[in-house]
Amino acid sequence: MKKNSFWIIFCSLFITAAITVPLSVSAEEKDLQTTIHMVEEGEYLSVIALEYDVTMEEIAEANDMETTDYLYAGQELVIPVEEEILDLSLPLENSEERTKEVTHVMTHFTSNAALTPQNPYSANDIYDNFVDYGVSAHYMIGRDGEIYQLVDEDRAAFHAGDGSLSGFPEYDNDMNQRSIGIELLALGTEEEMSSMMSPETYQSIDSADIGYTEDQYKALDKLLEDIEQRHPAIQRDRDHIVGHDEYAPDLKTDPGSLFKWSEIGLSQTREETQVHTVKEGDYLWGIANEYDTTSEVIAEANGMDSRDPLWIGQELIIPE
């Protein structure tokens, strides 16, 4: 049976992040990234250090300053926050050599709810089934925001299967090679889960286990920032960060309607985002007039100043 068929069977039983570490796999912590803190009026270094659970000395060293230096409102401080990524590496046969540039991220959900509705997020079971069915993702995010890495980014995980994405015809049935797969431990609506479990099973699940958590959104946002730094072709827009249900709408329902794309700064559907490619002679005010919006709205959506110069070929997100 093809890996894609296995994936369909797997998702029908196990609806991706993890809460407990499989007993057979060790967990290794890694640094993920730093973060930036904008100093507010009246803030002291000691208070900022407490907020991020680091020392004043660590912040001072990261910013080439002394702990006694004066802070001012608007100052940007690098905070050496250590994020945890737990290593749950899958066997090499659960992935393949990557031969194409990474340009996309695809999100999914998974759980054990069909078999154990009162304990839907067992990492042991999910990990074992990844192994058994020969499928995979690069990362899983648990209910408390813990991040697990299953496959290195330089390998293609078996997470997307067959499908197509509007605007990228050359990606048909080839998204594994071109994307990073992120699973979140979550459940969709009763309708979205209907092919995976009976109504009685769904209705027996604790309401707190339905949908996504704030900790998951925060962890996903930070993970995306880190991935985007390593893969500059991935842009924070709905053309490049997509759901499995958008790639294979006839087969998949994840991450589903309960996933709040706005929590990671994106529109709920791909259709709500327009992209304008800058042409020779374009000015921001002219582009704004074309889309019946303002220069300021476009600038904010693209993390730029409305006075910044534009260049030919530059892609601008135009919010609805």
Active site residues: 183
Q: Exposed, middle or buried, 64 (CB in 10 Å: 0-12/13-18/19+)?
A: exposed
Neighbours of 124 (CB within 10 A): 16
CA distances from 250 to 163, 202, 213, 231 (A): 9, 21, 27, 29
Burial class (CB in 10 A: 0-12, 13-18, 19+), 180: buried
What's the token pair of residue 76?
């940007």
Question: Could you count the other beta carbons within 10 Å of the beta carbon of residue 102?
Answer: 21
Alpha helical stretches, state H, 121-210: 123-133, 175-178, 199-203
Instruction: Say what angle helices 123-133 and 3-13 make with each other, to 10 degrees.
Output: 160
Distance (Å, rounded) from C-alpha 304 to C-alpha 131?
44
Q: Which amino acid is at 90?
A: L
For the chain, list the strands marked E by DSSP. 35-38, 76-79, 85-87, 95-97, 104-110, 139-141, 147-149, 155-157, 179-185, 241-243, 273-277, 315-319
Q: How far is CA 66 from the centre of its chain?
A: 36
Taking each continuous run of H as one helix and of E as one strand, the counts in the chain are 10, 12
